[in-house]
Structure 1
Amino acid sequence: MSDLSEAPKIERAPNRTSPVNLLAGISVRVSVEVGSTMMTIAELATLEAGNVVALDRKVGEPLDICANGSLVARGEIVSVDGRYGIRITELVSAEGRG
């Protein structure tokens, strides 16, 4: 999904007034972090097509799923109708989001 307009619509109960339903229509940016690395600007400037940048994750490790930059879950890559998707394998508690 390149933009939120492609996101599937979630059906809500019409007459419920729980805090979650009050916020359910608000869009948030969801991103997935495969891994990261630190490099200098000089190293970044020398990158060319075909170079490989090693990340801090091992193959098979869960990916971080963030909503508006905050960690909310972990998951794994799956294929959905020829597109990448993420299967959520763990929800992160508020204490674990630090």
Structure 2
Amino acid sequence: MFDGGDGFALLKDVDVRLSVELGRTSMKLKDILALNEDSVVMLERLTDEPLDVLVNGKVIAKAEIVTEGGRFGMRIVELANGARAPSEAAA
């Protein structure tokens, strides 16, 4: 049935949703309905705080935003288990 090799081999091609959360806030519905094109909504996260990286809604890492070729990207700075990202561990 199974060859006893890599137990995760069957899962490596499963699609998951990766998202980055910039921040959150709570608002009353009346305030949301009053939003317009020039509205600013303040989030609880500070500008120098790492962002949450989520897979299917579960935080797996912290990251910082980078830009490359006119596009946004992210650099992983910490994994959820507290380990440093591989590129930082070598530094």
Same fold (TM over 0.5): yes
Number of residue pairs matched? 79
> 2:64 maps to which residue?
76
Cα distance in 1 for partners of 2:18, 2:5 equals 25
**Structure 1: 5+ residue stretches without partners:** 1-15, 94-98
Q: Structure 1 residue 82: deviation in Å?
A: 1.4
Q: 2:27 aligns with which of 30, 39, 47?
A: 39
Q: Which structure would you say has the larger Rg?
A: 2
Instruction: Looking at secondary structure, tell me which structure has more helix per residue.
Output: 1
Q: Structure 1 residue 81: deviation in Å?
A: 1.9
- 1:25 equivalent to 2:13? Answer yes
Give the fraction of aligned pairs with identical amino acids, expressed as a percent. 41
The Cα RMSD (Å) is 1.7
Q: Structure 1 residue 18: deviation in Å?
A: 1.4
**Structure 1: which 4+ aligned runs deviate by more than 6 Å?**
none
- Aligned pairs for 1:1-98 (under 5 A) are 17-93=5-81
Cα distance in 2 for partners of 1:17, 1:23 equals 13
**Structure 2: 5+ residue stretches without partners:** 82-91
TM-score, scaled to structure 1: 0.75
Cα distance in 2 for partners of 1:90, 1:19 equals 25
> 1:9 maps to which residue?
none
Cα distance in 2 for partners of 1:19, 1:89 equals 28
Q: Structure 1 residue 50: deviation in Å?
A: 1.0
